[in-house]
Amino acid sequence: MSHVFPRHTKISPPMAASGDGCYLIDTNGKRYFDGSGGAAVSCLGHSDTDVTEAVKAQLDQLAFAHTSFFTSQPAEDLADLLVEHAPEGIERVYFVSGGSEATESAIKLARQYFVEKGQPQRRHLIARKQSYHGNTIGALSAGGNAWRREQFAPLLLDISHIAPCYEYVLKAEGESAYDYGQRAAQELEDEILRLGEDSVMAFMAEPVVGATSGAVPAVEGYYKRIREICDKYGVLLILDEVMCGMGRTGHLYACEADNVRPDILCIAKGLGAGYQPIGAMLCSGEIYKAIEDGTGFFQHGHTYLAHPCATAAGLAVVKAILGRGLLDRVKDMGEKLQAALVAEFGQHPHVGDIRGRGLFRGIEIVKDRETKEPFDPALGLAGKLKKACFAEGLACYPMAGTRDGKTGDHILLAPPYIMTEEQIPDIIEPLKRAMAQIIPS
């Protein structure tokens, strides 16, 4: 009997033995194409020697030094590189061990920022429905995904949720995409006014929504309006790029495509590419200065903050993304993958939408293409599809529709940036066979 507490107690997964580029190999020798990079993690594939060598060298040099006593060279170098390429105004990087720690840190930093500024009443966070910001209690409270939240309700109370910018489902008939985006953004202003102008500290959103909705970008103009509203009311803008950042969309930071400047930016997953657990919260110079001029101490810390081996891995990963031309490759391969998905599934009676940016693609499954009505979540189609894909040699991320009935089941694809055009069939063919078994046309 295994003593590991697994993620799903009713499923016994095969044992992963090794990795080879875009493939994972189990102990029986079966190869799986890593179609979602785990969960948008393994952006460089599974055998990148630049990264493994960097981690080994760091281990030989220095495995660990606690941040209450020391900084380390890889942490300094990685922070420099991230800030050099970051959106305007971002000046500091707080390293953590993963995505939930990054978003949790962001929420606490926003709170402490206003306390330091003598505005402790500004403690309300506005986030969006159908979002996921992580699993710690603060991050889970920020997330607006009903089924993930319900067991732990009521969660933190000073958080409310507005509608996401979700063109496929929420744009009205005859409405232009731009007008829809303005209408969606207006919900933020309405909610700020409802709560009281000086009680809101921050708005948090994923530039391209991942796990809950399947690679949903905002429409043009949405984030410009969001930024204007945040500026008007002195509300901080927190962008969660844990899944969509670090090159996944063809930009190092996903928000570049929306031309929006965050006050706080969260990254993880692709930053360590699976070679080490690492995340980061980046913040503006202004926020940092408020802490520096105030108590001088961000009242939040984790033992493994800025771990030397994790930051060494992150440094090698970001250098690889920038130095090997992978951002252009992601854009190019993303378009080829999109074209192949549309060619194969575009006419499927149960595929409502195929979308995304770069190598971050979503396929939305619907019962009825006309009405966009999703299948009953009780059918568990996403789980069945995931299992069938896996049996066919494709590890990918079908996700269940949320229970508010607005989103259908979807498939999230986030393959490694190193995938080739010749490997597109390693996604399409297993998916086609799995779809035929689970959702016949």
- List residues near ligand PLP by CB under 6 A: 39, 98-100, 103, 132-135, 206, 210-211, 240, 242-243, 268
Q: Determine which helix (DSSP H) or strand (DSSP E) holds 398, and give its type and residue range.
A: strand 397-399
The residue (of 213 and 423) whose beta carbon lies closer to ligand PLP is 213
The residue (of 208 and 291) whose beta carbon lies closer to ligand PLP is 208
Contact residues for 360 (Cβ-Cβ < 8 A; gap 6+): 40, 208, 210, 215, 243, 244, 248, 249, 334, 412, 413, 414
Give the nearest distance from C-beta 412 to ligand PLP in angstroms: 10
Give the nearest distance from C-beta 104 to ligand PLP in angstroms: 9
- Tokens standing for residue 13: 């997964």
Nearest by Cα to 95 from 314, 296, 337? 314
**In the complex, which residue's CB is closest to ligand PLP?**
99
Q: What single string gives the DSSP state of each residue in 176-218?
A: -HHHHHHHHHHHHHHHHHHH-GGGEEEEEE-SEE-TTTSSEEP
The residue (of 304 and 375) whose beta carbon lies closer to ligand PLP is 304
The residue (of 274 and 352) whose beta carbon lies closer to ligand PLP is 274
The residue (of 134 and 356) whose beta carbon lies closer to ligand PLP is 134
Nearest by Cα to 210 from 163, 258, 245, 169? 245
* Burial label, 194 (beta-carbon count in 10 A; 0-12, 13-18, 19+): exposed
Give the nearest distance from C-beta 163 to ligand PLP in angstroms: 17
Helix (H, G, I), strand (E, B) or coil at 327: helix
The residue (of 143 and 430) whose beta carbon lies closer to ligand PLP is 143
* Phi, psi (deg, nearest 5) at residue 252: -60, -45
Query: CA-based angle 99:409:128, to the nearest 5?
Result: 45
